[in-house]
Structure 1
Amino acid sequence: MQPEPLLCVPGGAGDPAYLGDLGGLSAHRTLVFPERRPARPATPDDIETLRIRLGLDRIALLGHSAGANAAVRYAARHPRRVERLALVAPSTRAVGIDISAGTRLALARRRAAEPWFPAAFAALEAINAGTGADWEAVAPFRYGRWDAAARRHHAASVAAGAVPAADDADTPAATRAGLRALSAPVLLLAGEFDVNSPPSAVEECAGLVPDATFRVQPGAGHYPWLDDPARFVATLAGFLGPCRA
């Protein structure tokens, strides 16, 4: 029997290829992705269309990075359609939580012992100051380990395409209000070293939903299933619970 579906909303350009099997989570759930459309990421409407197509009354939903914005907006619009919601290294744009340059730089300084740090940190400072845009140079900050596997993953992610504009149909105030009606359990998982989605911002986001569990994966960056697959899968599978017979 196939495991129950988990609807997964990727970030970036909306190509789910970079998610892979989420470190082996596919052994516990059937990973299902919204249809990818050129030049735009998935929207709450795409998620609802997929739910209806699958014939599900309620869904288990996962959003990663910018994909979490669509997942959160969906949950705010359709709180009774969400059985469980997992937000992995989530963007907090949908709920209006801003991340300061100081927060990102302070977190980045914890990697000062890494051999790639000087060039990457200089590039990050320039990006935050608005005087540079060398996103390639800051790539090591997105991973818990900048090893061969991380380099391959980064290269494949870059090849997938540029990040299109986000869906901003709902205001942060409306999304926050909708989330207050969400009774489903929500897991918010941050990587310890993730400058893109710092733990402090993810924890603040957790305070906006009634039944939230906030976790930090030690040693992880923006892709925690790559940094420690076993820990990641244990966390997610434990949150999602056993599949119903």
Structure 2
Amino acid sequence: MPAFAAYDGTELAFQVHGEGSPVICVPGGPMQDPVYLGDLGGLSAHRQLIMLNLRGTGGSAIPRDLSSYRCDRLVDDVEALREHLGLDRMDLLAHSGGANLTVLYAARHPQRVHRLALITPSTMAAGVAVTGEARLQAARHRRDEPWFPAAYAALEAVTSGRAAGGDWEAIVPFWYGRWDAEAQAHHAAEDEQRNDEAAGAYAGEGAFTPDITRAALAAFGAPVLLLAGEADVAAPPPAMAAFAELFPNAKLVVQPKGGHFPWLDDAGQFVATTAAFLG
């Protein structure tokens, strides 16, 4: 697996899928091995995907300073990868929690970003609120599923702050547009792919300064794609629309029947949308 040295000497790895002009891909989790992304439903047929293994995940080394897992400090790792690849500007794609990192990178290094694709992104870095009602509204797209009543009751408990027992596990089907064998296997693999210690530090105190980030994003002129899933309870469309408004040159696309992993739900639609944006 190719590797490079970060600013502090930590060896970081990345996987390469496909050929052509590269797209730097930042996984979510947070702090999850990018293996869960696969080749993003076949996007590698259109662009070369460079899958960054964040420090302490996948093939990357555990750093000596564990506080370097904090999201704002990971910005320097993305910059080190750009320098390693010899790119003047790069196309960035991030999923879920990884969007916080790419947004902070864009705010700090706007001249280094050519295009920015945010796939069902977390909004923590920018301070965009996600309401419980927006999550419930997205969930109601799944009302015809046999598991819906129990899962919806659990989601009501979670969004109202009454979560107990197995409620968090009960709502997992809502994360996928189809709760089939593929989705269940995808979810079952997550625990082994995530560095829980790193995930706990990712959003630690001082990681995010939303007012400063929002001001920077207002001046960020590069094209931005926000791809939302119609039924995604983690990043529901109303929050994604509010997120898109922070950028002067953003396009919001809502994938019909999509969940939090839209390349699994409808690979053809996902690839068509993303490849058209990336060019």
Question: Normalised by the shorter chain, which TM-score bucket?
Answer: over 0.9
CA contact (8 A) 2:34 2:52 kept: no
Report percent identity of matched pairs. Answer: 57
Task: Note the 1:112-127 alignment, pairs <5 A.
Answer: 112-127=143-158
Shift of 1:94: 0.9
CA contact (8 A) 1:35 1:46 kept: no
Please tell me the residue identity of whatever aligns with 2:179.
W
* In 2: Cα distance, 1:64 partner to 1:41 partner: 17
2:84 aligned to 37, 46, 53, which one?
53
Q: Which residue of 1 aligns with 2:229?
A: 191
State the superposition RMSD in angstroms.
1.7
Q: Which residue of 2 aligns with 1:136?
A: 169
Please tell me the residue identity of whatever aligns with 2:245.
G
**Paired residue secondary structure (1:197):** coil
Distance change in 2, residues 1:35/1:160 (3 Å): closer
Shift of 1:135: 2.0
**Paired residue secondary structure (1:121):** helix
Say whether 1:151 aligns with 2:184.
yes
Structure 2: which 5+ residue stretches go unaligned? 1-17, 57-65
Q: Deviations over 1:88-129 (max 9, x none)?
A: 000111110111112212221232211011121122122222
**Paired residue secondary structure (2:28):** coil
Task: Note the 1:87-98 alignment, pairs <5 A.
Answer: 87-98=118-129
Q: Deviations over 1:184-242 (max 9, x none)?
A: 1000000000000001111111111111111000011000000110111111110011x
* In 2: Cα distance, 1:19 partner to 1:53 partner: 22
Q: Deviations over 1:117-171 (max 9, x none)?
A: 1121122122222222532211100011111111111111233234434345340
Shift of 1:35: 3.4
How many residue pairs are counted as aligned between the two chains? 241
CA contact (8 A) 1:15 1:160 kept: yes
Task: Note the 1:1-245 alignment, pairs <5 A.
Answer: 2-12=19-29, 13-38=31-56, 40=69, 43-133=74-164, 134-161=167-194, 162=196, 163-167=199-203, 168-241=206-279
**Paired residue secondary structure (2:125):** helix
CA contact (8 A) 1:11 1:41 kept: no
CA contact (8 A) 2:96 2:120 kept: yes
Please tell me the residue identity of whatever aligns with 2:42.
G
**Paired residue secondary structure (1:87):** strand
* In 2: Cα distance, 1:14 partner to 1:81 partner: 25
CA contact (8 A) 1:59 1:83 kept: yes
Moved more, 70-79 or 107-116: 107-116
* In 1: Cα distance, 2:98 partner to 2:260 partner: 13
* In 2: Cα distance, 1:152 partner to 1:101 partner: 27
CA contact (8 A) 2:120 2:235 kept: yes
Q: Deviations over 1:25-48 (max 9, x none)?
A: 111122113333237476222111
Structure 1: which 5+ residue stretches go unaligned? none
Distance change in 2, residues 1:11/1:55 (3 Å): same
Shift of 1:4: 1.2
* In 2: Cα distance, 1:182 partner to 1:80 partner: 9
Shift of 1:50: 0.7
* In 2: Cα distance, 1:182 partner to 1:129 partner: 35
Please tell me the residue identity of whatever aligns with 1:82.
V
